[in-house]
Amino acid sequence: MYIYADMVLLINFIMNSVILVLTAYASGVSFRWRRILPAALMGGVYSLVGIFPEMAVLYTIPGKLLASLMIILLAFGRKTLKITLILVATFFIISFILGGAVLGWLYFAQAEAPHAVNQIISLSWGNLAIGSAIAVVLILLIVKQMLGRMYRRQTFYQAKIEYDGRYVEVTGMLDTGNGLFSLLGRKPVVLLDHQASLLLLSSQAREYLTTNSPDAWLTNLDQCLDATWLSRIEIIPYQSVGSRSVLLGFRPDSITIMTEYGPAQTANVLIGIYSGVLSGGSDCQALLHPALITGVNMTEEAGICALPGR
């Protein structure tokens, strides 16, 4: 039996490239061809190792897991542990679907039934292309249904807001429809739940917000005894369905949002105190402005909100 190393390397290089691109798409992670192609080539070289008996250890289950991890790290770079595990798991799932689709097409296209279990089915470029195309379509259809749910889960982030030596940690939802900016300096606005806002403020400011109704927060500001907080107050105009109004906002010291790429921190932000119910549900205490988060994949359906900022 002859083994054509160049053909084995070429076929595995092409298939690995397809698998890695589909892995990135299914995981919602961006990719670069200058990383994908060397990783695919590494996978092709790994496929040739099996011809050397002394390297058989690399084809054990631990060896295959290690090789897959190395390919993922080369293709996508250093990520958090959670994202890396997701990429590895997705890599295997895509590989199984792709391999199964190609094998299924080979059996489907075979003119005669196999006479033995170990009968070899010839693999041509045409059959490989058709089987791969079937797998890609299946994967895209499946992933398309899953991405909506996945992105909704990914639009929730942990955020830490600091003000005057105090801080509050909240769960915020990325609202891609939030177009609110301050009038002064065009600062992006984060809508914060009323109760969460009280944890940031001094006793004088808390007393003012609790003794006055939300409708009177702006008109009765002269009753507030916290001069420091008053110096940071800004008015936020917004438009909701069929009406226009204003919100009471203040400038915090900073806000830090934990994203999959690491913490994103800024002081160029305005906190709008919202007395209603946020659209993110009971687990959401803030609506985050998209300008505060960089490098996060967003879709049109992510974080749709029926609150201010349309």
**Strand bridging mode 270-274 / 189-193:** parallel
Range 156-292: architecture per CATH:
Beta Barrel (2.40)
Residue 155 has pLDDT above 70, yes or no: yes
pLDDT tens track for 6-36? 677 777 788 888 889 888 877 777 788 999 9
pLDDT of 4 above 70: no
Give SS3 for 294. Answer: coil
For the ranges 56-60, 99-103, 146-150, 204-208, the lowest mean pLDDT is seen at: 146-150
pLDDT higher than threshold 90 for residue 86: no
pLDDT at position 164? 92
Write down the domain spans for the chain: 5-109+122-153, 156-292
What's this model's pTM, rounded to 2 decimal places?
0.48
Token pair, residue 274, equals 């919202």
> Torsion angle of alpha carbons 191, 192, 193, 196, nearest 10°?
180
